[in-house]
Amino acid sequence: MTRLMARLCTISLLVLFGRAVPLYAADKITLSSTNPTAFDVDFVVARDKGFFDAENLEVEPTYMTPDLVIKALIAGTVDLARSGTHFGIIAASRGAEIKIIGGSNYGYPYQVIGNPQFKTLVDLRGQKIAGASLASITTTIFKDVMQRRGIPPTAYTLLFVGGSPERFQAVASGLVAASLAEAPPYNFRSIEAGRRVLLNYSDEIKNLQYTSFFVTTKSLAQKRAMFARYMRAIGQAMRWINDPSNEKAAIELMVRRLKVDQAIATQTYKFMIPENQAFRHEGMIDSPGLAEMIRLLESDKMIVKRDSWQSFVDPSLLSSK
């Protein structure tokens, strides 16, 4: 009789709410991240489309500036960090006990955009170029690409003005010839204003694990299964994003959650998904992409030595997924 009553209650809840109700309270995960942008669509989809719910997870994000995301993890104030891979690798190379458990953004979906009189990167010789800061990974990547094109750092001047809004304004005002990295929506606004794309980084950078999920080794030992469920949900979200049949729904989600208009959301979807395939590895480790990030950091002296990519990843979690 007891089992029969339980089944009847479950059926009643399914009829009332249209989906299964977890028998146990959801496991809570606290997450540090930057403010949501086009780069965070995987998290937005995992939350809004029920992939976290399916894994019985309640994920509570705290948004902060990029340089604080990994620091919050190391301090123990959050369980998980979604961070630029470089921040975590730099911290780990300096002794922080943290590991990568998966990827978020793959490749480098940025463009170099300049004023219309400049047609190629070669034209930037002798010019001022807007950057974020000397220690920014965007600066490291730009210098590396320019060097490979035969243009050394001494051939141009970097003017550090801040983030995307500031770089956009510096180019618009004529203070600089170009911005070394623009992503949605500022690249679209620049193009609409008549400025020129001098480089699609995807033409140069084929493998890069740009953003990753990090946990502390202590937390990983205690909550390994829960983190595996988290990455499974993220992987399913990316699979949903990458399915062309979900294009309309994905754009509507960007409009609602990223607070952008339909036109920008449509451009963003096209740029991030089919053109740059920013979520192509669906949460898995991109070993060539991590190796490339390590190479970039070592070549710019942001880390002392070029350790193997495996040293930054927890292998037991990889095998459990």
pLDDT tens digits, one per residue of 219-264: 999 999 999 999 999 999 999 999 999 999 999 999 999 999 999 9
Q: For residue 179, give every residue at least 6 positions away whose Cβ sits within 8 Å of its Cβ, in sequence order, or none.
A: 112, 113, 114, 129, 130, 131, 167, 168, 170, 171, 190
**Structure confidence by residue, pLDDT tens digits, 92-139:** 999 999 999 999 999 999 999 999 999 999 999 999 999 999 999 999
Q: Which of these ranges, 17-21, 75-79, 264-268, 269-273, has the smallest mean pLDDT?
A: 17-21
Topology given in CATH for the domain delimited by 25-107+207-320? D-Maltodextrin-Binding Protein; domain 2 (3.40.190)
Q: What is the mean pLDDT of the chain?
A: 92
- With a CB cutoff of 8 Å and minimum separation 6, the contacts of 303 are 89, 90, 93, 294, 297
Band the pLDDT of 2: cuts 50, 70, 90.
very low
CB 105 within 8 A of CB 137: no
- The mean pLDDT value for 193-207 works out to 96
Is pLDDT of 3 > 80? no
Percent of the chain with pLDDT over 90: 89
Q: Over 70: is that where the pLDDT of 22 sits?
A: no
What is the residue extent of each domain of the chain? 25-107+207-320, 111-203
pTM of the model: 0.90
> What local confidence, expressed as pLDDT, does residue 314 receive?
84
At residue 5, does pLDDT exceed 80?
A: no
Written as six digits, the tokens of 252 are 């509507």
Q: Which residue has the tokens 């000397």?
A: 134
Same fold, 25-107+207-320 and 111-203: yes
Is the domain spanning 111-203 CATH 3.40.190.10? The answer is yes
216 pLDDT more than 80: yes
Q: What is the pLDDT of residue 315?
A: 72
